[in-house]
Structure 1
Amino acid sequence: MMSDGVRLAADLCLPSGRGPFPSVVIRTPYDRRLHRAELRAWASHGFAAMAQDVRGRHASDGQWRPYQHEEGDGAATVRWLRGQRWSDGHVVASGSSYAAYCALSAALGASSEERPDAVIAAVPALGLAETAREPGRPGETGEPGGPERLFARTGWWAAHGDRRDSDETALDDALARDPRLFEHLPLAGLPHRLGRDLPSWPHLWRAQRRSDVALRGASADVPLLAVGGSRDPFRDDTVELWQHWGGPARLLIGPWGHALTASPGPEAHPKHRLNLGALYVRWARAALAGQLSGGRRGVAALGGSQWWTAMADDVEETEYPFGTCTGLRLVRGEQFTADPEQPVRSDALTVPATGEPDRCLLVTAPIPRPLDLLGPARVRLTAAADTPCADWVVRLVALDPRGTADPVALGVVRRKDGGNDPARIEVPLGHVARRLPAGTRLRLEVAGHHFPAHARNPHTGEDPLTATRLLPSRRSLILAGSALSLPVVPARHRVPRVDPAQEICS
């Protein structure tokens, strides 16, 4: 029972024997019953394991308001676990996605007796503002944040928002009824087209304050294991959390999507199929026993190779200037039109070869030797738009020697320059961990939309969620001074190969 009398439903699995036992708790909006096999696995390794429905979800009482009650409810749950006769007083908070936020919130609570002793946070969804939009950057946007993450947020809210249970097929069903679901304006009316009420939908997009979980973690003294996928939309939040954490911090990044090893990318190798459950148990034992060294240690899989490597300190930022034979050669579109009526698609990698350009397209020569990338990538643009508000989308794609296209990195920023005056624009592409084989060409696209992954910028200066009018936007790139920067491990250095479990558990 919570401090206000609300009762939360939980499943508890105890190890055999008399105890006492350390505990692991998973607080989730995705139905505690789905974790029963996981609880049994923890119990078989000597942990008392609990999965709990968060407030207002499934069998728990109260009202479901994402991100509003997790710190207090998590603290009360940790306190309850420590008070049980079978408990040895040690608690590990664990979770993935929203459940990772629950675990982190408990760890950042006010009272030491209400905080867990260690945290496992996988692909953490850190808050409303973080999940709804790309992060806004000072001087680059007049919006509460950056461009809206439309497709993923619609899918999550359709499945889980404003309801006690979940309907995982809600968005697919709606798209089957209306394949042009996302094209109707205004986007604020999308819940009606989904076929049910979503009163929290406007609140999602009005969220202006980021949760500050990553920054608050700087004062944390408990051990952290942060786990992410290089293809996960919250990859950079995972890395930032690890970088700011005050206690012993470990990072594991694999070539996976949001479901981690259950959603490997095409660049994943069989050696990247880790048993994450066994690794979590080993790390938790080391963390509770005080066997982890201080500071930060990180491990990443280089997709495209079979190796795991420690996060490197000797990576060089290598520039590929636009419009040069040794960098990125211009193919077409130094001037192009970003038309929200015909936006560049996020779900297609084909590029038009004729007609008026809808993006700037550049390509490198085939790389002469394998290229190891490990760290943050970015693009520096000098560019102009003739509309009061413009999104700048940069997509980096690898073209292997057979011609197969595979996305490597993506960045989206929103600017309010306008007036056709060239501006310097920095577009972060996020953390990359990849080996590209010899003969690969890099294709760089600079566009104005990435739809439906992100909402279309209407180019009128209006809120993309309420706009009903769309305007084309003429864009111009100045090649001189524009460049792609990649985190390249120098060829003269061998990438250090490590055992991921040994590295993060020591």
Structure 2
Amino acid sequence: MIDVPVDGLVADVFLPGRLPAPAVVVRTPYGTAGLWPEADALTGAGLAVVLQDLRGRHRSTGEFQAGADEEADGHTLLDWTTAQPWSDGTTLLYGTSYEAYAAWCAVAHPSVRGVASRQPWPPVTVAVDEELWWRTEIGGGRQLRPGLYDLALSRPVWPVPLGAWPPTPSSWRTQARRTASRIRAANVPSLHLGSWYCGSAATTLRQASLARRATVVMGGWASPLTHRLQPECAIDVPVDPDPAELALSWLAAVATGADPRPGHRCLVLGSNRWEPRDPRPSARPPLRALPLTGRASSSIDHDPADPYPSLPHSADLSAVGPRADVVRLGATGRVAWHGTARARCRVETDRPAELVATLVHETPAGVRTRLSDGTAPITPGSGMAEIRCAPVAVDLPAGHALHLELTVGRHPRHTAPETPVSVTVSGVDLLVPGGRR
């Protein structure tokens, strides 16, 4: 059944051959057509599927407000679903990115028996390039607008309204708190699918840590909804297991009443091997310092007319070449950790700025890609800075190298100052959790 109106919002309904059945519900801002193959697979497993365009998106009436509380519309759809003669009265919620947010907003409905959340929104911290991509191509207007991000970067004036810019914690903290409170209160099984290569990695792990009955799988997948994979992709993206297949098999198991909790899996980057363990890092692990090679004291000279560039996540960073506005240090010895790495250093600067630490993986062939990054504000004068990078599980094989890059901004991923800034960096330490669990 296509174009089914439910309180002014339009849904597609897919039914299995045997009824009544549990229903998987996805509420999406991305258009339902892209979910039809998954709906077909779920009906083949005996589940009904309801796909709904969110308010103000695609075929649904009203105005879309990114981050608005989706509880009321979600509960209305679940009330309608469970009242249908083909429903057995139970539902499962599923979604990627903003779909996962909409699912958690509706999890308190009494029909819900489980939630599958993939690379969820909102992020714990916002990178400017990811937020710009969302607001230009995804989060504004009724339809998706592919290509607007690249156009926005090339124009002095944004081609669409962005709202308050640049983003601040007020852009996402209300929604993050809302999601956290509902995850804590929910007593249903949940699947948390994440990717170390995606800005949502920290969000996936945090939400899984709050859930009572979580199964967690962290891989290295890339998708158009999680980061912009370029034609010149330099990342060795693992193809198996497919995250959609993991989600669909988990939903089918929960629908039959099976216990889905066993099955944590963690991809270790560098070696690219899967391990059958919980990807959630220890809360307070012992830290160890990775020995670093490079100049003991170096300067970062930021030129606002030529800010240090941030290439897409999938690009080869070696193309940037030598510059005066980066301190690059190399780690020696075996590089392996699971969790949050921290860069500590003494800084002296004449202006306020944001110090960016980027952890870069270099292969024996010289290809350099971003593993993780983080930022910390610095103020005029002399003092210490500590930068917490996004969590990751990594074990670099022999012949591979890790670099720590320190910059002032990293345009467009991290905001660069609009005036010249000079920063002296000394006494750099790179601290990582003590080995692999």
TM-score category of the 2 structures, normalised to the smaller one: 0.7 to 0.9
Letter in 2 for 1:160: I
Deviation string 1:336-389 (CA, Å, 9 cap, x unpaired) is: 2233322111114456547xx312221134x3x6x44322222222323221x2
Residues 218, 297 of structure 1: alpha-carbon distance in 2 compared, 3 angstrom cutoff: farther
Distance 2:143 2:27 in 1: 15
Q: 1:474 aligns with which of 406, 410, 422?
A: 422
Q: Does 1:317 align with 2:317?
A: no
Letter in 1 for 2:425: L
Question: 1:431: how far off?
Answer: 1.4
Q: 1:378 aligns with which of 320, 333, 342?
A: 342
Distance 2:152 2:359 in 1: 31
Q: 1:483 aligns with which of 410, 414, 429?
A: 429
Deviation string 1:14-53 (CA, Å, 9 cap, x unpaired) is: 0013x11010011001111222222111111101001100
Letter in 1 for 2:430: L
Residues 265, 69 of structure 1: alpha-carbon distance in 2 compared, 3 angstrom cutoff: farther
**Preserved contact between residue 249 and residue 297 of structure 1 (Cα < 8 Å):** no
Q: Which residue of 1 aligns with 2:383?
A: 422
Distance 1:199 1:311 in 2: 38
Q: Which residue of 1 aligns with 2:298?
A: 334
Distance 1:445 1:412 in 2: 12
Distance 1:157 1:220 in 2: 30
**Preserved contact between residue 361 and residue 401 of structure 2 (Cα < 8 Å):** yes
Residues 216, 276 of structure 1: alpha-carbon distance in 2 compared, 3 angstrom cutoff: same
Distance 2:419 2:142 in 1: 40
Q: Which residue of 2 aligns with 1:121?
A: 117
Residues 386, 73 of structure 1: alpha-carbon distance in 2 compared, 3 angstrom cutoff: same
Distance 2:434 2:424 in 1: 29
Residues 200, 64 of structure 1: alpha-carbon distance in 2 compared, 3 angstrom cutoff: farther
Residues 280, 298 of structure 1: alpha-carbon distance in 2 compared, 3 angstrom cutoff: same
Q: Which residue of 2 aligns with 1:230?
A: 196
Question: 1:396: how far off?
Answer: 1.1
DSSP 3-state at the match of 1:172 = helix
Q: Which residue of 1 aligns with 2:258?
A: 291
The aligned runs of 1:123-138 (5 Å cut-off) are: 123-126=119-122, 130=123, 134=126
Distance 1:60 1:364 in 2: 53
**RMSD (CA atoms):** 2.9
The aligned runs of 1:37-76 (5 Å cut-off) are: 37-76=37-76
The aligned runs of 1:6-45 (5 Å cut-off) are: 6-17=7-18, 19-45=19-45
**Preserved contact between residue 123 and residue 258 of structure 1 (Cα < 8 Å):** no
Residues 265, 376 of structure 1: alpha-carbon distance in 2 compared, 3 angstrom cutoff: farther
Q: 1:172 aligns with which of 147, 150, 156?
A: 150
**Preserved contact between residue 268 and residue 303 of structure 1 (Cα < 8 Å):** no
Q: Does 1:438 align with 2:401?
A: no
Q: 1:207 aligns with which of 161, 171, 176?
A: 171
DSSP 3-state at the match of 1:210 = helix
Residues 80, 152 of structure 1: alpha-carbon distance in 2 compared, 3 angstrom cutoff: same
Residues 290, 96 of structure 1: alpha-carbon distance in 2 compared, 3 angstrom cutoff: same
**Preserved contact between residue 231 and residue 258 of structure 1 (Cα < 8 Å):** no
Distance 1:65 1:236 in 2: 24
Q: Which runs of 5+ in 1 are unaligned?
A: 135-148, 185-189, 321-326, 459-469, 496-506
Q: 2:217 aligns with which of 241, 244, 252?
A: 252
Task: Name the count of aligned residue pairs.
Answer: 416
Letter in 1 for 2:382: D
DSSP 3-state at the match of 1:287 = helix
**Preserved contact between residue 229 and residue 258 of structure 1 (Cα < 8 Å):** no
Q: Which runs of 5+ in 2 are unaligned?
A: 1-5, 312-316
DSSP 3-state at the match of 2:142 = coil
DSSP 3-state at the match of 1:311 = coil
Q: Which residue of 1 aligns with 2:408?
A: 448
Taking every aligned residue pair, what percent have the same amino acid on both sides?
25
Q: Which residue of 2 aligns with 1:81?
A: 81
The answer to which structure has the higher strand fraction is 2
Deviation string 1:308-361 (CA, Å, 9 cap, x unpaired) is: 1113778763312xxxxxx1122486222233322111114456547xx31222
What TM-score results when the alignment is normalised by the length of structure 1?
A: 0.75
Distance 2:402 2:137 in 1: 37
DSSP 3-state at the match of 1:279 = helix
Q: Which residue of 1 aligns with 2:314?
A: none
**Preserved contact between residue 378 and residue 485 of structure 1 (Cα < 8 Å):** yes
Residues 452, 333 of structure 1: alpha-carbon distance in 2 compared, 3 angstrom cutoff: farther
The aligned runs of 1:345-364 (5 Å cut-off) are: 345-347=309-311, 348-350=317-319, 353=322, 357-364=324-331
Letter in 2 for 1:427: I
Distance 1:221 1:252 in 2: 19
Q: Which residue of 1 aligns with 2:245?
A: 278
Letter in 2 for 1:257: A
Q: Which residue of 2 aligns with 1:242?
A: 208
Q: Which residue of 2 aligns with 1:465?
A: none
Question: 1:400: how far off?
Answer: 2.6
What TM-score results when the alignment is normalised by the length of structure 2?
A: 0.86
Residues 172, 404 of structure 1: alpha-carbon distance in 2 compared, 3 angstrom cutoff: closer
DSSP 3-state at the match of 1:232 = coil
Letter in 2 for 1:439: G
The aligned runs of 1:383-402 (5 Å cut-off) are: 383-387=347-351, 389-402=352-365
